[in-house]
Structure 1
Amino acid sequence: MPTSAAAGSALAHAESDVDREIAALGALDLAGLRSRWRQRLRSAPPPQFSRTLLLRLLAYRLQAKALGDLDRDTARLLERLARERLRRRATEARGRRSKAAPPIPPPPSPGLRPGTLLVREHAGQMHTVTVQADGFAWQGRTFTSLSEVARTITGTRWNGPRFFGLRDKPAVSSGGGQ
């Protein structure tokens, strides 16, 4: 376990270094932030950016470099949302009324990360499940699958991801036949 403790200590040290550097950025004027941008990011800062925006972006870049950036799927989702927003604005600027754009569905989840909380109300009671590296914790017990948790909560067989809203609900037929 010394490796884990050493990693935790290194992360805490990196966080405190980043915190100090961000605090120092707050004392800089616009010219100072532009200079720091060139030093740290090895590129010219966008000239139209205000001091506040430069400060925020530079702080984000410093944190991402020290502590890790967004994963690829999250970055793609954010880019897609930004493109959709720009498209809507362009449509509104042309003065046309557009139909409401369909919501962008979230990307398929490759898996739940440890620490994620899943909340579901069933029979008037709120149930919170914590995703762990080795399973799912609910009311002090650990289960190997969400389906086991759902079965324990409901007393019947359930698809666990569907019960906790992680999968689409099945399409309901309109009942027009036979």
Structure 2
Amino acid sequence: MSRRLAKRRGRVSHEDLDALSGLDKSELHIRWEEAFSHPPPKYMRRNILVRAVAHETQLEAAGGVPAVLVRQLERAARSMRDGKTSTSASDHHRSASAVTIKPGTRLLRDWQDVTHEVIILEKGVQYRGREWSSLSAVAREITGTRWSGPRFFGLKGQKT
């Protein structure tokens, strides 16, 4: 499938992507050059060529790299150039996704047919009338195993 067709339709079919697997290496090199405007690395394996060209085809069909991601990458590159390591893209992502809970918030979690209630305090949490240092300590008390407290109480995304 040509990149012009992908761009025109705004989507790429599974058949189009599967067809890339059937191309020989010289055809993949041509597709690579169309996609990236330079030849592929000399010793790149065929399966990597297929995946890279498929990814680039899908990306173009979707309208390109999202502007917010471009800005984050530019900010990370600028920070690296300036010798700043504390503002990497991963640090930015980690801080942006951190959840802040106000004291007095009640968290409920059903575990083995028992509802457990935790109250967030200024420093720590309250569970069953006792103060605990962290949600993780409470999760460990409830389950008997090491858990991420924020994950156990549903404050962090679950793997799907």
Same fold (TM over 0.5): no
Report which structure shows greater RCO (CA 8 Å, sep ≥6): 2
- TM-score, with structure 1 as normaliser: 0.37
